[in-house]
Structure 1
Amino acid sequence: MRRHHLAFALALAFTLPLAARAGDGDIDKVNGTARVEAGQHAGDVSTVNGAVRIGDRAVVRKASTVNGSVELGERVQADELGSVNGGVTVGAGSQVHGKIETVNGAIRLAQGTDVAGRVSNVNGSIQLDAAHVAGGLGTVGGDITVGAGSRVEGGILVDRPGGWFHWGESRPPHIVIGPHAVVQGTLEFRREVVLEVSDSAQIGPVKGATPVRFGGAQP
Structure 2
Amino acid sequence: MKRFLLLLTLAVAAPQAMADDDISKVNGSIQTTAGASYRDLETVNGSIQLASGVNARSVSTVNGSIRTDENVTARNIETVNGGIRAGRNLVLSSGLETVNGSIFVDRGSRISGDVTTVNGGIGLVATQLDGDIETVNGDITVGVDSVVRGGIKVERPSFGISFKAPRKPRIIIGPNAVVEGALQFERDVVLYVHDSARIGPVTGATVQHFSSETAPAN
TM-score (norm 1): 0.91
Deviations 1:171-194 (A, max 9, x none): 011100000000011000001100
Say what the alpha-carbon RMSD is for the aligned residues. Answer: 1.9
Cα deviations across residues 113-141 of structure 1 (Å, max 9, x unaligned)?
11000000000000001111111100000
1:77 is matched with which residue: 67, 73, 79?
73
Report the residue type matching 1:116 in the other structure. S
Q: Is the 8 A contact 2:18 2:24 kept in 1?
A: no
String of CA shifts for 1:131-169, please: whole Å, max 9, x gaps. 111111000000000001001011000000116xx6845
* Secondary structure of 2:94 counterpart: coil
What residue ranges of structure 2 are gaps of 5+ in the alignment?
Answer: none
Aligned to 1:150: 146
- The answer on whether the counterparts of 1:189 and 1:207 sit within 8 Å (CA) in structure 2 is yes
- After TM superposition, the score normalised by the length of structure 2 is 0.91
Does residue 1:131 correspond to 2:127, yes or no?
A: yes
Give the share of equivalent positions with the same residue, in percent. Answer: 43
Aligned partners of 1:212 and 1:14: how far apart in 2? 47
Query: Is 1:9–1:103's contact at 8 Å kept on the other side of the alignment?
Result: no
**Pairing 1:87–2:83 present:** yes
Q: CA deviation at 1:31?
A: 1.3
Task: Please state how far the C-alpha of 1:170 moved relative to its aligned partner.
Answer: 2.2
> In structure 2, what is the Cα distance between the partners aligned to 1:194 and 1:70?
29
Paired amino acid for 1:213: H
Structure-2 change in CA distance of 1:161 and 1:10 (3 Å): farther
2:201 equivalent among 186, 205, 214? 205
Taking the aligned partners of 1:161 and 1:180, their CA distance within structure 2 comes to 30
Report the residue type matching 2:51 in the other structure: G
- What residue ranges of structure 1 are gaps of 5+ in the alignment? 1-5
2:115 is matched with which residue?
A: 119
User: Residue 61 of structure 1: which of 50, 57, 79 is its match?
Assistant: 57
Q: Please report how far the alpha carbon of residue 18 of structure 1 lies from its aligned counterpart in structure 2 after TM superposition.
A: 4.0
8 Å Cα contact 2:16/2:24 also seen in 1: no
Aligned partner of 2:156 in structure 1 is 160
CA–CA separation in structure 2 for the residues paired with 1:190 and 1:170:
13
Cα distance in structure 2, aligned partners of 1:81 and 1:167: 34
Question: 2: distance between equivalents of 1:38 and 1:19?
Answer: 26
User: How far, CA to CA, are the matches of 2:138 and 2:118 in structure 1?
Assistant: 7
- Cα distance in 1 for partners of 2:18, 2:25 equals 13
Higher-Rg structure is 2
Match for residue 97 of structure 2 among 87, 96, 101: 101
Match of 1:50 among 40, 46, 49: 46
Could you tell me which amino acid in structure 2 is paired with residue 130 of structure 1?
Answer: A
Alignment match, 2:188 = 192
